[in-house]
Amino acid sequence: MVKVEQLVEQPEICRVSLDAAIEIAHPLFHELSNSESVLYKVSSERLAGLPSEDRLAISTLLLTDPSRSGVTVERYRIQAGKLPEDAVDDDSLEKTVLLWATDATVIPSLKVPEGTEADLMTLADSLQMRGRGPVIYSREEVDQMEKLPRTLLKIDGAANLANLERIKSALSYVEANGVEQPIVATVDPFRILKDPERQKVSDFAPEATNELELFVDSAISNGFASSDQNRYGVRFLPDHSSYLEMFHENGTKLVVLAPPQQTRADGSKQSGVYNGYNSLIKNPQIVSEDFSLSGSGVIQITSSHYGPMAVMNNLRAVDDLRVTLNSYRVIGDNQTSRTAQAHLIEIGLTANALLEAVGNPRIAEALLE
């Protein structure tokens, strides 16, 4: 009897999330294919600042087999600068793969090379780090955003004064376009505020000790009031999520959700975006009786220069959860005080998030088409 294996068809990646990620990934890919790129200058200065013995780490980029897999092939066949497709490793499977390792403590800080600030900001603009759409918008541009049905405004909880700004961004969208369902904010009550942060928020949140309490006080400063007599009182859900409800003086409802933190199969922490989506899937009733994340539009409220990272986290989250959104956009406060240096750090983090995303073969194939 012949055993027939049934192939399980993989669901398609959420198209709108993929398209949003392509808007960020392709400018990065284009920049990295240009040897005159400001990112090459950043990398060169960083490598030049390494101790002499560690500078040889760059030699892996000059190898035809950068992974040092040990494949043996005739020298004349590698003149093109790459291994032939039919090259075979005839050594044992147990052979150790050697990789260059550099002590992270001696790597120079990431910094903008002198005279490249304008180039760096041009790149930041191509990644929509200061808004301008079509995926990431600044708060000042909310009236340019198309109003779409079943749109959920989802605020990412944050540190210091960022919650104040993000709530203002959400309210700006509500004023310009209205909203059909409650705003949802996701926060981490286990992030304890340290003394410097407590000092920064003491004017409006003198009693806040964690991120949830800071968000509640930030919402109160923006015209919301808690529906519970206990200022920070929460209700618990079966999956260990907790939440509280607040209402704005204009009638807008806000749900402050604290989802459990999840981990990936490799033990690494899931993103806050994943945790929030996961909790909304399991507890749709906190939004409305007929709410379903799949088929909804999402507007993620963060800071505009965090937008590209938000886009990447959204793509990975919806793919892991097999969710299909109807639309996906980002609104952020565009702080003009953020320098080229601040944007460079976010570009580096976005590039790393993109690298992690393409570690998933499904996402890699879709993004690299």
- Within a domain: residue 168? yes
- Within a domain: residue 86? no
- 28-76 confidence digits (pLDDT tens): 999 989 989 999 999 888 888 888 777 776 766 666 665 556 665 655 5
Cα separation of 294 and 316, whole Å?
15
pLDDT band at 211 (very low <50, low <70, confident <90, very high): very high
Tally of structural domains, the chain: 1
- Within a domain: residue 277? yes
- Within a domain: residue 291? yes
- Quick check: 102 and 50 in contact, CB under 8 A? yes
pTM of the model: 0.86
Q: Percentage of the chain surpassing pLDDT 70? A: 84
- Within a domain: residue 242? yes
- Within a domain: residue 93? no
Which pLDDT score, from 0 to 100, does residue 79 have? 57
Which pLDDT score, from 0 to 100, does residue 229 have? 82
Which residue, among 280, 210, 270, 190, has the nearest Cα to 239 in the 3D structure? 280
| Residues 6 or more apart whose Cβ sits within 8 Å of residue 213 | 189, 205, 207, 232
The residue segments making up the domain with residue 139 are 117-367
- Within a domain: residue 54? no
- Within a domain: residue 206? yes
Q: What Rg do the C-alpha atoms of the chain give, in angstroms?
A: 24
